[in-house]
Structure 1
Amino acid sequence: MLRHYPSSRKLPVAILLPLLLAQVLLAGCSVTKTVPEGDALFTGFSVNVEDENDSSQRGPELETELSATVRPEPNASILGLRPKLGIYNAFYTEKDKGLKHWIMTKLGEPPVLVSQVDTGSVSQVMSSRLHNRGYFINSVSSTTDIDTAKKKGTIAWTARVGEPYRLRNIKYTLDDSLQVHQVIERAKPESLLKPGEPYDLSVMTDERIRLDGVLKNSGYYFFSPDLLIFSVDTTVGNRQADVLLRVKRAAAAQSLKPYALDDIFIFANYSLGDSLSVNDTIDYKGYHYIPNENYVKAKHVLDGVFLESDSLYTREDHLLTTKRLSGLSAYKFVNIDYEPDTAAAGKLDAFIYLTPSLRKSLRAEAQMVTKSNNFAGPGVKVSFRNRNTFRGSEVLNVEVTGSFESQVGGRGTGTAPEGVSKPSNTNLTSYELGVQSTLAIPRIVSPFDFYNLRTEFVPQTRMGLGFNFLSRSGYYDMNSYNASYGYTWRPRETLTFDATPINLQYVRLANTTPAFENLLTTNPYLRRSFEDQFILGAIYQLTYSNQMRKDKLSNIFNKVTLDISGNLMSGVQSLLGNPPPTDDEPRTLVNQSYAQYTLLDNDFRHYLNLGKESQLVARLVTGIGYSYGNSSTMPYVKQFSIGGPNSIRAFRARSVGPGSYNVPDSLLFSFFDQTGDIRLEGNLEYRFPITGFFKGAVFADAGNIWNLRETDKEGAKFEAKDFLSELAVGTGVGLRIDIEFFVIRLDLGIPVMVPYLPKGDRFVLNKFNGSFNGDYGMVLNIAIGYPF
């Protein structure tokens, strides 16, 4: 098929908004402006595989593979537009310096010409690829189509294939007297080569690598895949092939015998240029530890060493040791070498070289803060880190943070109704100061002994202690103290367990203003959620993610969180005969009430990779929190909210819900902070490159929060028959400045469905006013990093 991007006529209006701006900027700049006379712009190509006589039906797969061989590729295109070529043309200059030259060469891209495509060479490469896939008889031809008037051209390749050669007999020519051949024979049942399958050179290469891995895990340290030779006989007729595998006759003797480990030396404080003297060696549990324990104690390093003296060498143990030791923060480089033992035949000495990291660091950074309450603003963070605090690779991290938070546009802005006072601060600003210290210990610390698990990821014990001060301008201050003790365990690359059995938090409201006190007096539900209280519980998280596998078409991220509080304390007090709690007289700890609840939250994301830099991302977030026993409401800091830079971006943070509740005018231009017990949110975002480090996005968000119980807020309780009609929906466009180590994000949200308006009036896109005021206006979100 011809490799053009879809026509914009098939796209929704929202997608065209950012493209219209690009079209205006590039207006008047013909994409063929710098194409020489007599040549043409290479605008696209197609690859068609004619496989009517091929029973394997691999045509689409082959077309994709052959398309990847076309060089050079056409100019980068976004939905039919070529912005980088447009920049090149707009700033074209023959000078070799200056601003225009810099923009032309750094942000632009010269036209790719039809004359630059060597169709003969490309056709030959395609033919070779088909040969490698079993099509020993094939033909590839090309046709070039040039529109001389428009100076544009396309190329079409056609590949004709018949039935591929298939494998008939697969034999391993081995000498049973050699042990290496016996190992290969035992591995034969798992062979990747199957009789009847089409001949495929890549599968044969993979089979050599598989057998090499089997041998490496059986002690054959000096063996390599190129010692295995496949012979293929295609003369047997009927488009069949016989395959013979053998080991090279000239293979060195040392590559054909297994090795066991003898002495294991650990250089615990190694740097390039060190003399490898072993005079100051500590013998610890059969290992030679060099030079001493002044940097990291030997017992802590050995938790990550899976090489044992007198055991058979295996690549699995080698890689496991390398990855575990690399996970220790005290070291930045890990290298393991082996040498034959001169005193013992069939033995290897192992040398583990550990290069220390910078032990202490102090870092200050300015940042754009995005918090769980969906507020965003500029901030500063100063952090101190010690990567080897107690000579066991423990990481002590102390962070001092300060931030100022606000949003622009949306509800609660513009002109207040008559009789409603409007404060000078319409952006609901706040500022926050905090200090948080964490200690991460690279092992399990508990009263019980745990077996050292054979996982390549270092298990961690986490301890935390911190204080946070939040001032909500004109309303209240909030002091929050926290302490935690937990574990992180990653049994495999895609799965992570976080268990925090001790999670303590104390929240205290202070310096409330008369206006806020009046709100608490008239709203018992809000008052109970803001009460000073302890949170005594545990948090458990399970995270699955395969995002590290960049070669996959799609990636998945899913995190499940279980947060419980107060159950243990309530059970102890019940056993002690304490009276049951009531709303007016809850049970207390040191004369302070404590929260009792269970919260379950799930965050699911799917990343569909549509190209080298384009991506379609979908997210679904669901959560429910239920208070009981000692609490009639969820604590304010644990309730759900919706809206803001990382949520529904067409609405301000905490401005939506619960349900269809409509904030009265008396509060709309002062304090409104909507929270709930249930959250449902879905997001869909298409991300695409623009030029250089500028990226674009088009998004649609939907969601809301609800209460589980009746409150004084009309329409706030969750009702199954109404929840779909109560979803807030927004759309918009975004600009991201992605310079690899951080991303500055600007998202412009436009409301589509407003749940707090009367039924029948909730669709508001046709009332969009193009301003940053009121229910029908835009919201500008500024943040660091991608929203999800």
Structure 2
Amino acid sequence: MIKNLVIVFLLALFAAACSGTQKLPEGELLYVGGKVTVKDTSVSRKERKALQSKLKEIIRPLPNKKFLGMRPKLFFYNLAGDVKKEKGFRHWLKYTVGEAPVLFSEVDLEYNRSLLQNFSENNGYFNTRTSADSTRHGKKATAEYIVTPGKQYKIKSIQFPTDSSAVGSAVRLTQRQSLLKVGAGYNLDVIKAERVRIDARLKENGFYYFNAEYLKVQVDSTVGKYDVDLILKVKDETPVAAKTVYRINKIVIYPNYSINNDTLKTFEKYQDFIIVGNDNLFKPRIFDRTLYFKKDDLYNRTNHNLSLNRLVNLGTFKFVKNQFRVSDTIGNYLDAYYYLTPLPQKSIRFEVLAKTNSANYTGTELKINWSNRNTFHGAELLSISVFGGLEVQLGGKNNGFNVYRVGGEASLVWPRFIAPFKLRSSSGFVPRTNTTIGYEFQNRQKLYSLQTFKASFGYAWKENLRKEHLLNITEITFASPENVTDLYKEQVALNPSLKNVIEKQLIFGPTYSYTYTNEVNQRKKNTFYYKGGIDLSGTIAGLITGADINKKDPVEILGIPFSQFVKVQSEFKHTYKFSKQSLLKSRIIAGAAFAYGNSDEIPFSKQFFIGGTNSLRAFRSRALGPGTYDGSNEISQFIPDQSGDVKLEFNTEYRTNIYRFINGALFMDAGNIWLLNKDENKPGSQFTKDFMNEIAVGVGAGLRFDFSFLVLRTDLAFPIRKPYLPNGQRWVIDEVNFASGPWRSSNLIFNLAIGYPF
């Protein structure tokens, strides 16, 4: 009984402290919020409720935030006391965790009343009456506003300009898509939006100097009870230039412009362009592909913006500036000027990377990259890189099985489609042709070494800011193992699936991926990301050689059987923003691969893997699955990678800011991989209709240190469902015991990584 009374007393004391009234300045009251009541029988209940909700959002200031009836932020503000230093724990507690009290003296009742009055009238409630008052409760005060709106005025008719002038006719032609609707309530914001819409349409039709301010909407409220007529006009004082339709005359380009050298003399003519000070720096044809305007074209804002966007997206220019001037020689024409400042043509970059993964491998990599942004004077980007790296396991079963990697890659990107047919993109993003060739030598100490050659040729283009396509006409991979040790051969005899890793592989064929995202819109509460791809290997070669028909021996090219398979994968991400500093991010990955014709299995490098720092963080990298198979029971001197033909993964993570550059996260990961065909050496690995009962689940928490130039991530995770345990025993939540040393060593996984997991 006494214990319960103590608890009740402490809770009451804490609640009183959280009320925040103890340390108010003398004579001040704590403002705890405002209330808006809409009173009028001429307005429907639904309409009153909607109007009341909108009006309440207007009143200021906002009171201190409440949680379960208390004001914890205000409590911490008072708890910190007087803070004299502009840094340190007490400053952080007071101004980051805490929140200063909102005083009633800061509330301007008359100002808020006028805001409510104006909002009501701007929404068609022309006969609104408003009043304001306040109520005191001890050391707290509330504001109370009563709004009597009267019946809303509706739009009876809309009249667009009827004159025969060019601008009047152009405005009239936009009427079909008007935001103003007969029967709708009068709304000043909609009228303003209508003016902006008309201005945007006129900009598409040559009215370069027009402005939304040159439009006015007259309101006639005498036409009937609670009705208005809207009369849209072009203002009489509108300048002549704003009422003139303009076409393009000269197009002048300065491709090597500098603010310190604006007296360039040399110039050349190319089609409709005058190119000044080029000095053979750029081939003139790149401007023909990039700029949408041609001589005598009608000016329009879309082509204006698309041209600028494409110049920026060439990746060759540091600054892009554009001006339009009325022509001195031809009336109703504009001269277009483009001032382009190139980036340094050649550059070299050194990168030193440190990385680790949940398989306890820690490593480093040195990469040197040289690039030329204008290789053949057509804004082509040539990049050549070489790298070397080392990964070692500091402890565990793979200790001593170090991985050494060296290699290089060369890529060339043309800012156009190189194809036997003409294809012109209509977006603000320059279409690209990509070609890549690379080599990597990987030495897995004590096991084997692997040489891999890669090459690709394809196209990348964007429809718009949200949609992107990547089509590789061909993507070739040739892998050749060497120096296979006796130790690895012994393990192959015990685990035949390890043989796939050291087989020669020849993979070639087209690949395609499509990406959609609206994540660039930072103001949206809900954002989405989707990426889907398909990989078709050996399709055409199979038709030519007849490999698609079942044969005893696979068809070979240069003495190597080529792979035939179809692989599809989709990735979907969703972000829900609670506030600027907290969000919930989720991801789903689903994929499947099917071998046919010349292949019995998917090449090891193209199979699916799961587990690790960017996957299921409660399980070691590539150590989970397939299915209910437990790879830890394999008789092996090292931990082999587990792979599958089918993958399903789900991740969700709540992220919030803790202090300045430190963010925290709580997460859950779930998923698994499976084989399509039964494998006697891996019981339980086959994909069946019972796959949902074979899902692994892990949870954890982590910190993200956002240093702007990089994000250092630490995660601590543990499994709560293990699919390799007997059915009915797979949920292991009741076994969680952080106080137990054996449980921690067997279950807790620490991840250190760069960047966010997804």
User: Match of 2:370, SS?
Assistant: strand
- Once residues 438 and 702 of structure 2 are traced to their aligned partners in structure 1, the CA distance between those partners, rounded to angstroms, is 35
Deviation at 1:755, TM superposition (A): 0.2
Distance in 2 separating the partners of 1:434 and 1:47: 69
1:314 aligned partner? 300
Aligned position for 1:300: 286
SS at match of 2:530: strand
66 and 511 in structure 1: CA distance in 2 versus 1, 3 angstrom threshold: farther
Q: In the alignment, does 2:519 pair up with 1:519?
A: no
Quote the sequence identity (%). 32
**Matching residue within 134, 137, 159 for 2:124:** 134
Distance 1:666 1:783 in 2: 28
Residue type at the aligned position of 2:107: D
The one of 687, 710, 714 aligned to 1:746: 714
1:132 to 1:703, Cα distance in 2 relative to 1, 3 A: same
CA distance in 2, matches of 1:222, 1:494: 30
Q: Distance in 1 between matches of 2:666 and 2:441?
A: 36
Matched with 1:125 is 115
Task: Show the counterpart of 1:542.
Answer: 514
CA distance in 2, matches of 1:667, 1:158: 79
Following superposition of structure 1 onto structure 2, how do residues 79-94 of structure 1 map, counting pairs within 5 Å? 93-94=82-83
Distance 2:459 2:145 in 1: 57
**Aligned residues of 2:623 and 2:640 also touching (Cα < 8 A):** yes
Classify 1:239/1:365 alpha carbon distance in 2 versus 1 (closer, same or farther; 3 Å): farther
For the residue of structure 2 that corresponds to 1:318, the secondary structure is helix
- The code of the aligned residue for 2:115 comes to V
Q: What is the identity, as a one-letter code, of the residue corresponding to 1:638?
A: K
Root-mean-square deviation (Å): 3.6
Partner of 2:678: 710
Aligned match for 1:484, one of 456, 463, 469:
456
- Is 1:593 the counterpart of 2:561? The answer is yes
Task: Label 1:43 to 1:443 Cα distance change in 2 as closer, same or farther (>3 A).
Answer: farther
Which among 502, 506, 514 is matched to residue 478 of structure 2?
Answer: 506
**Residue 392 (structure 1) shift:** 1.4
The answer to whether residue 340 in structure 2 is matched with residue 354 in structure 1 is yes
Do structure 1's residue 782 and structure 2's residue 752 form an aligned pair? yes
Query: What aligned pairs does 1:599-610 form with structure 2 within 5 A after superposition?
Result: 599-610=567-578
Change (3 A) 1:28 1:395: farther
- Partner SS, residue 552 of structure 1: coil
Written as runs of structure 1 = structure 2, the 5 A alignment for 1:371-770 is 379-403=365-389, 424=399, 430=403, 432-446=405-419, 448-472=420-444, 474-574=446-546, 582=552, 585-667=553-635, 670-711=638-679, 712-720=681-689, 722-770=690-738
- TM-score if structure 1 supplies the norm length? 0.85
Asked if the contact 1:123/1:142 (under 8 Å) is kept, the reply is no
Q: Which secondary structure does the structure 2 equivalent of 1:492 belong to? A: coil
Change (3 A) 1:673 1:386: same
* Counterpart contact for 1:384–1:398, Cα < 8 Å: yes
CA distance, structure 2, for counterparts of residue 403 and residue 92 of structure 1: 53
Question: What is the identity, as a one-letter code, of the residue corresponding to 2:102?
Answer: L
Q: Is the 8 A contact 1:433 1:470 kept in 2?
A: yes
Q: For the structure 1 residues 459 and 435, does the alpha-carbon distance in structure 2 shift closer, same or farther, using more than 3 Å as the test?
A: same
Q: Deviations over 1:117-159 (max 9, x none)?
A: 42423443344333322233153647567674xxx77767665
Contact 1:764–1:776 (CA<8 Å) still a contact in 2?
Answer: no
Shift of 1:304: 0.8
1:676/1:706 contact within 8 Å kept: yes
Alignment partners' CA distance in 1, 2:19 and 2:183? 51
Aligned to 1:221: 208
Aligned counterpart, 1:256: 243
Residues 167 and 195, structure 1, Cα contact 8 Å, conserved in 2? yes
CA distance in 2, matches of 1:321, 1:735: 43
State the Cα distance separating 1:608 from its structure 2 match. 2.1
- 1:620 Cα deviation after fit: 1.4
CA contact 1:505–1:534 (8 Å) conserved in 2: yes
Which is further off, 765-774 or 26-35? 26-35
Question: Offset at 1:646?
Answer: 1.6
Task: For residues 309-344 of structure 1, give each alpha carbon's deviation from its aligned partner in whole angstroms, at most 9, with x where no partner exists.
Answer: 112111122111111111111112222211111222
Q: Deviations over 1:568-607 (max 9, x none)?
A: 23333339xx99654xx53322222322211000111122
Instruction: Please state how far the C-alpha of 1:655 moved relative to its aligned partner.
Output: 1.8
Mapped partners of 1:614, 1:65: distance in 2: 25
In structure 1, C-alpha distance between the alignment counterparts of 2:117 and 2:387, rounded to whole Å: 61
Give me the whole-angstrom Cα distance separating, in 2, the residues matched to 1:221 and 1:764: 69
Q: How far does residue 553 in structure 1 lie from its aligned partner after superposition? A: 2.9
Cα–Cα, structure 1 residues 600 and 784, in superposed 2: closer, same or farther, change >3 Å? same
CA contact (8 A) 1:768 1:776 kept: no
In structure 2, relative to structure 1, the CA distance for the partners of 1:388 and 1:60 (3 Å cut) is: farther
Give the C-alpha shift of residue 375 in structure 1: 7.6
User: TM (normalized to structure 2)?
Assistant: 0.88
Unaligned runs of 5+ in 1: 1-25, 414-421
Name the SS for the 2:472 alignment partner.
Answer: strand
The structural deviation recorded for 1:289 is 0.8
Q: Which amino acid aligns with 1:111?
A: A
Q: What CA deviation, in whole Å up to 9, does each residue of 1:22-74 have, x standing for no partner?
A: xxxx9999795875455566677776767885459466765665565455555
Residue 64 of structure 2 contacts residue 102 of structure 2 at CA under 8 Å; is this kept in 1? no
Q: Could you tell me how far 1:694 is from its partner in structure 2?
A: 2.2
174 and 76 in structure 1: CA distance in 2 versus 1, 3 angstrom threshold = same
Residues 678 and 339 (structure 1 numbering): CA distance in 2 closer, same or farther, change over 3 Å?
same
Partner amino acid for 2:275?
A: Y
Q: Which secondary structure state, in structure 1, belongs to the residue aligned with residue 546 of structure 2?
A: helix
Cross-structure match for 1:22: none
Mapped to 1, the partners of 2:143 and 2:486 lie a distance apart of 75
Instruction: Give the aligned residue type for 1:670.
Output: F
Structure 1 pair 46/380, CA: closer, same or farther in 2 (3 Å)?
Answer: farther
C-alpha spacing 1:97/1:752, structure 2 compared with 1 (3 Å): closer
Distance change >3 Å, CA 666–CA 496, structure 1 → 2? closer
Does the 8 Å contact 2:530/2:571 carry over to 1? yes
1:423 shift after superposition: 5.8
186, 211, 218: which one pairs with 1:199?
Answer: 186
SS of the residue aligned with 1:610? strand
Aligned with 1:271 (options 258, 281, 299): 258
Q: Which residue of 2 aligns with 1:328?
A: 314
| Aligned: 1:167 with 2:155 | yes
Aligned counterparts of 1:382 and 1:80: Cα–Cα separation in 2? 59
Q: Deviations over 1:653-694 (max 9, x none)?
A: 112111001225354873132110000111222222323222
Distance in 1 between residues matched to 2:676 and 2:376, nearest whole Å: 48
- Asked if structure 2 preserves the Cα contact closer than 8 Å seen for 1:381 and 1:399, the reply is yes
Letter in 2 for 1:731: V
Specify which structure has the bigger relative contact order, considering alpha-carbon pairs within 8 angstroms and separated by 6 or more residues: 1
CA contact (8 A) 1:44 1:154 kept: yes
- 2:84 maps to 95
Say if 2:567 and 2:591, in contact at 8 Å, map to a contact too. Answer: yes
Structure 2 unpaired stretches of 5+: 1-13
Q: Which amino acid aligns with 2:234?
A: V
| CA shift for structure 1 position 469 | 3.7
The letter of the residue matching 1:717 is: Q
Q: Residues 81 and 498 of structure 1: is their aligned pair in 2 closer, same or farther, counting only changes over 3 Å? A: farther
Quick one: structure 1 residues 355 and 111, their matched pair in 2 at CA, closer, same or farther if it must change by over 3 Å? Answer: same
2:314 and 2:429 map into 1 onto residues whose CA distance is 10
Taking the aligned partners of 1:654 and 1:46, their CA distance within structure 2 comes to 58
